[in-house]
Amino acid sequence: MIPLPERERVLLGPGPSMVSPRVMRTMAAPVLSHLDPDLLAMMDELRGRLAATFRAPEGSFAFAVSGTGTSAMETAVANLVGDGTRVLSIVGGYFADRLAGMSQRYGGQVARVDYEWGRAVDPDAVRRALKTNGADVITIVHAETSTGVLNPVQEIAAIAREHGALTIVDAVTSLGGHPLDLAAWGIGAAYSCAQKCIGAPSGIAPIAFAPEALARRVKARSFYFDLTLLEDYWLRRKYHHTICASLIYALREALLMVEEEGLEARWARHRRHHLALRAGIEAMGLALLPPEAERLWTLNAVRVPDGIDEAAVRTQMLQRFDIEVGAGLGPLAGRIWRVGLMGASSTPAIILLFLGAFESVLRAQGAKVPPGAGTAAALDALAAGSGAVHEQA
Ligand SMILES: *Cc1c(COP(=O)(O)O)cnc(C)c1O
């Protein structure tokens, strides 16, 4: 029999991120059934925490889909896109393309604003597309995990509103890591997952529908992701599926930790640690792919230098140091490494460990990296950013 892992992997890929022992322990509590009054009471409480994390407006329905981030993506699409719905999909990466494809599967008439992978979308391109074709629904990925780019969602949602379109936001890699405010930004629906910046294992996915999205729902073709049936279960206690109590425990504990840290403090932590990692990467003579103003704090796309074997570096990081980093996808395959600093993986200690290991592996591959430069620069940035290097997540 293959043994269970004995050592903790340092999870610095595009997700999953590390899960704190506090969250892991909750999953050893006894299982409750999906209709147990105690579990349902916990789920009511969870809805409130989720609404607060999304900053969803009054009257929203925030809950968690039983599945990964993609199941929440499908829940948003299945209930807001039907036959003939005019969808404008903004596509500059792998996940935005998935969202556009899914909208088509559900019967949407999909027009696309395609832009360069590794850049943020230009809001004027969206304005032009809306002027020409109009749209009922706009889909956009806030944090494009495939390219390391942050999109101007607040601006796009405002443009969508001017044209009477509802915005669906993929917040899988931004919820809990970057500012996001459904109420203030006028977003129709947004979804995320548990295993990126929230800090729980995958298998349960936060989602929020604002009142206008609830009102504009279509008849869902999917049974499992039907919003009305999910409301029947979450609000009216009618059996729909057997939700996993252990994952509810984990998600509620992770959200409690978000609340204790404070959403804004958590955003600031992700930013500070991104800047420290960036300082280290640059001091090693490497560069990030997106321009400075368009970078994610939660996922760093590091350019592979000429002459370096991208896959060999990832293998060495894993074998020698137990550190997982991600590969590039699609047009960026072989051109970038994806280094996630999300949730419990975003700590000073992990940044230093990563930079030390990365230096060693790159030097073994023949790269001319000045010894100690990465960790020294990161330590300086951490000291400048917080006044204390020993700060914990
Ligand atoms: C990870 C990710 C998803 C998919 O989530 P799964 O949990 O793998 O299903 C969707 N969108 C973005 C932006 C992601 O980063």
139 lines ligand 1 (CB under 6 A): no
Indicate if 113 and 251 belong to the same structural domain: yes
Question: Does residue 1 form part of some domain?
Answer: no
Which of 261, 288, 315 is at the close of a domain? 261
Give the residue numbers spanning the domain of 282: 262-386
294 lines ligand 1 (CB under 6 A): no
Indicate if 257 and 280 belong to the same structural domain: no
Which CATH number is 78's domain given? 3.40.640.10
Residue 90 near residue 113, CB atoms below 8 Å: yes
Beta strands, E only, 56-165: 61-66, 86-91, 109-114, 137-141, 143-144, 149-150
Indicate if 365 and 279 belong to the same structural domain: yes
Indicate if 248 and 271 belong to the same structural domain: no
Structure tokens at 283: 């001091």
Indicate if 250 and 273 belong to the same structural domain: no
Pocket test for ligand 1, best of 94, 102, 193, 195 (most atoms within 8 A of CB): 193
Question: What pLDDT shows up at residue 386?
Answer: 64
Q: Out of 47-61, 85-99, 372-386, which region has the weakest mean confidence (pLDDT)?
A: 372-386
- Model confidence at 201, pLDDT cuts 50, 70, 90, reads very high
On the question of pLDDT at 199 being above 70, the answer is yes
Residue in 245, 244, 258, 246 with CA at minimum distance from that of residue 342: 258
Q: Whats the size of the chain, residue-wise?
A: 393
Indicate if 233 and 271 belong to the same structural domain: no
Q: Considering its fold, how many domains does the chain have in total?
A: 2
Indicate if 207 and 273 belong to the same structural domain: no
Indicate if 91 and 66 belong to the same structural domain: yes
- For tokens 């391109």, the residue is 125
On the question of pLDDT at 392 being above 70, the answer is no
As a whole number, mean pLDDT of residues 196-225 equals 98
15 lines ligand 1 (CB under 6 A): yes
Pocket test for ligand 1, best of 145, 175, 296 (most atoms within 8 A of CB): 145
pLDDT single digits (tens) 223-261: 999 999 999 999 999 999 999 999 999 999 999 999 999
Question: Does residue 278 form part of some domain?
Answer: yes
On the question of pLDDT at 389 being above 80, the answer is no
Distance 120 CA to ligand 1 centre (A): 18
Which of 261, 277, 308 is at the close of a domain? 261
Indicate if 232 and 83 belong to the same structural domain: yes
Which of 261, 283, 303 is at the close of a domain? 261
pTM metric for this prediction? 0.97
As a whole number, mean pLDDT of residues 187-213 equals 98
Question: What pLDDT shows up at residue 102?
Answer: 98
